[in-house]
Structure 1
Amino acid sequence: MTKLDRTDARMLLAMCDAPRATGVQLAAALGLARNTVAARLARWDEDKVLAPVDRCVSPRDLGYPLKAFISAVVDQHRLDQVLVELETIAQVTQITGLSGAADLLIGVVATDADDLYRVAGLILGVPGVERTTMSVAMHEVVAYRTRPLLEALAKP
């Protein structure tokens, strides 16, 4: 895992403000050598520091305005098989392993309520999924973000 430093944070903040900036533009804006910027960008690529571009595309823009989270209790002996099956469902946007009452938190998107019902049925039909509980997202109050963390790291 890559440890990011103050310079990395400054570069990332600049990229948040100007995502299409070139390495030369970043170097000029931050007062860094072009080679420094190029080397860090190359290291980020190698270490997969930046999320894939598909993480930036809103499912709403793809025709999936409805978002929900499904908590699933899973037979632990079949967990690997369950994960492989869940990844085949296109509307599954994320899966997080949990401790506590449920084993997985599955983020899903749907075109409408009927589609959500169908997707929930697909998940419940996966061998090894024992039971599920669904919560429909009504409004995203704070979207996934790291900017405040970057700002804290960028401070001198």
Structure 2
Amino acid sequence: MSVDDLDRALLLELLEHPRAGLREYARVLGVARGTVAARFLRLQETGVITDLAPQVSTRALGYPVAAFIQLDLAQGHLDSVVEALTEIGEVIEAHTVTGDGDLLCQVVARDTPELEHVVQRIIAIPGVVRTRSQVALTQRIPRRVLPLVRQAAGKGAARGSVRARTAAPRAPR
């Protein structure tokens, strides 16, 4: 799907002011509420907007220990290993990767003994040949996409377009 200037402007509004609502987005963007609603729905349906759930702190849920575990897999076991990993609640992300290893998982735990237990559960999955773990000390940059949307808006926006109209400072709410 191609993302145009209005889509980028809407994405910026959604990321910078996630609670504003469609009516406010329409006002700021200078378009009809129905247009904003249709664009929002299309961005969801095409996978540009992938989630509307709040970001929840794992630390606040009692899981202050975060680690990255690299998995080496036996050939032909990727799908079965991923399926088994989805059964371990402490595995919060998994990515297939290039280079050393086959999967990179982010896991959380309440403490280091629990982290060891999570690692042992992962090692016990048929098809997992080896693991390497790194405990995260501090998250310095949280997952973010706003800078990317800003860059895309700067490169793709035509002069005098929606981007130019939304560049003016807003009135306080």
Pairwise TM-score range, normalised by the shorter structure: over 0.9
Report the structure, 1 or 2, having the larger helix content: 1
For the Cα contact (< 8 Å) 2:68–2:136, is it kept in 1? Answer: yes
| Partner Cα separation in structure 2 for residue 53 and residue 124 of structure 1 | 33
**Identity percentage of aligned residues:** 38
Aligned to 1:64, the other structure's residue is in SS state coil
The Cα offsets for residues 68-113 of structure 1, whole Å up to 9 and x where unpaired, read as: 0000000121111111001110000100001111000011011111
TM-score by length of 2: 0.84
Task: Return 112-121 or 26-35, whichever deviates more.
Answer: 26-35
Indicate the residue corresponding to 2:145 in structure 1. Answer: 146
RMSD: 1.4
Indicate the residue corresponding to 2:63 in structure 1. Answer: 64
- Alpha-carbon distance change, 124 to 54 in structure 1, aligned in 2, over 3 angstroms: farther
Indicate the residue corresponding to 1:7 in structure 2. Answer: 6
1:97 aligns with 2:82: no
| Partner Cα separation in structure 2 for residue 38 and residue 57 of structure 1 | 26
1:55 Cα shift?
6.3
Paired residues, what number?
Answer: 155
Structure 2 letter corresponding to 1:78:
H
Runs of 4+ in 1 over 4 A off after TM superposition: none
For the Cα contact (< 8 Å) 1:70–1:133, is it kept in 2? Answer: yes
Indicate the residue corresponding to 1:18 in structure 2. Answer: 17
- Alpha-carbon distance change, 46 to 57 in structure 1, aligned in 2, over 3 angstroms: same
Structure 2 letter corresponding to 1:79:
L
Indicate the residue corresponding to 2:114 in structure 1. Answer: 115
Indicate the residue corresponding to 1:106 in structure 2. Answer: 105
Gaps of 5+ in 2: 158-173
Aligned to 1:96, the other structure's residue is in SS state strand
- Alpha-carbon distance change, 105 to 143 in structure 1, aligned in 2, over 3 angstroms: same
Gaps of 5+ in 1: none
1:29 aligns with 2:9: no
1:21 Cα shift?
1.7
For the Cα contact (< 8 Å) 2:44–2:50, is it kept in 1? Answer: no
Task: Return 24-33 or 115-124, whichever deviates more.
Answer: 24-33
Greater Rg over alpha carbons, structure: 2
Indicate the residue corresponding to 2:38 in structure 1. Answer: 39
Structure 1 letter corresponding to 2:2:
K
